[in-house]
Amino acid sequence: MAGVKPGERVAFIAGNWKMNLDHLQAIAFVQKLAWTLSDARHDYSATEVAVFPPFTDIRSVQNLITGDKLELGFGAQDVSAHLSGAYTGEISALFLKALGAPYVIVGHSERRQYHHESDEQIAEKVAVSIQNDVVPVICVGETAEDLELYGPSAVPVAQLRAALSLSEGATNVVVAYEPVWAIGSGQAATPEQAEQVAEQLRYVVAEVLGGEVADATRILYGGSVKSTNIAGFLRQPNVDGALVGGASLDIAEFASIAQFRKHVGT
Ligand code: PGA
């Protein structure tokens, strides 16, 4: 099948809702998303689909997914670097584990920018997630200024090295390359730009976690992904999926992104 990487990595389409949809809206949304994908005969074994709602929605989404045996995955948008204690407002990886959350986004550029998360904190969050069986979706990406100063891959490569620095034995991580200039701007990277950086990021995974893990690691592209540009990214050998923000809040659009194989060749 065009666009499939046979015997290789299962594609991954992840919806980062950011601070949108309360728990009631989340339930209606996930139900409709599951129906839409089921109507389209979505093959979850070829393309995994997951949603990343706000913390207050996660229990409701988990209940729905397990109760109705939906094949959708889910995760949180952040996690504390600490496991428990006097950290007002934070959420432990233990709590995500207790909810059976398969994933957590770590180091999103909005966390780095608005909450001043450092590479060191992100490395701790990655480590604590892995230690508690929650797979981190590690976000890296350069700003427009970085791009001008250092070129396309220097900053994301350095961020990924730092993020993995406390997790040497890890076998299961997801990496998301999200150029900051492409997030929410309507100005996506080109598939070639995404591939160029994704390839460098795979080398970093190989360097830190070994070649076998690097081969199995999904590297996503994020930043203004839509149904009209998704196929070009997934055609790249090192791009295995997408982290979708704005377009993940529109059920038809997100389902269409998840069905990217239908657009390959278009
Ligand atoms: P966007 O956001 O798809 O709205 O550009 C992507 C992200 O921030 O993960």
Nearest atom (ligand 1) to Cα of 109: 8
pLDDT for 8: 78
User: What is the CATH code of the structural domain delimited by 7-264?
Assistant: 3.20.20.70
pLDDT for 264: 56
> What are the angstrom distances between the C-alpha of 232 and each of 144, 180, 212?
22, 20, 26
Gap between the Cα atoms of 231 and 259, Å rounded: 9
Q: Is pTM, for the whole model, over 0.85? A: yes
- Residue 94 CA to ligand 1 center (angstroms) comes to 27
- Residue 192 among the catalytic residues: no
**In the chain, where the domains are located:** 7-264
Q: Is 107 in the pocket of ligand 1 (CB under 6 A)?
A: no
Q: Is 243 in the pocket of ligand 1 (CB under 6 A)?
A: yes
- Residue 1 CA to ligand 1 center (angstroms) comes to 28
pLDDT for 2: 39
pLDDT for 265: 52
3-state secondary structure of 264: coil
> What are the angstrom distances between the C-alpha of 81 and each of 62, 74, 93, 116, 125?
23, 20, 8, 14, 4
Gap between the Cα atoms of 14 and 49, Å rounded: 6
Q: Is 230 in the pocket of ligand 1 (CB under 6 A)?
A: no
3-state helix, strand, coil in the chain (%, to 5): 45, 15, 40
- Substitution site in 109, 143, 225 for ligand 1 pocket (most atoms within 8 Å of beta carbon): 225
| Residue carrying the six token digits 């670097």 | 81
pLDDT for 263: 81
Ligand 1 atom 7, closest CA: 245
Q: Is 187 in the pocket of ligand 1 (CB under 6 A)?
A: no
- Residue 33 CA to ligand 1 center (angstroms) comes to 19
Give pLDDT tens digits along the chain (266 positions): 334 444 479 999 999 999 999 999 999 999 999 999 999 999 999 999 999 999 999 999 999 999 999 999 999 999 999 999 999 999 999 999 999 999 999 999 999 999 999 999 999 999 999 999 999 999 999 999 999 999 999 999 999 999 999 999 999 999 999 999 999 999 999 999 999 999 999 999 999 999 999 999 999 999 999 999 999 999 999 999 999 999 999 999 999 999 999 985 54
- Residue 148 among the catalytic residues: no
Helices (H), 40-190: 55-67, 93-98, 109-114, 119-131, 144-150, 154-163
Ligand 1 atom 2, closest CA: 245
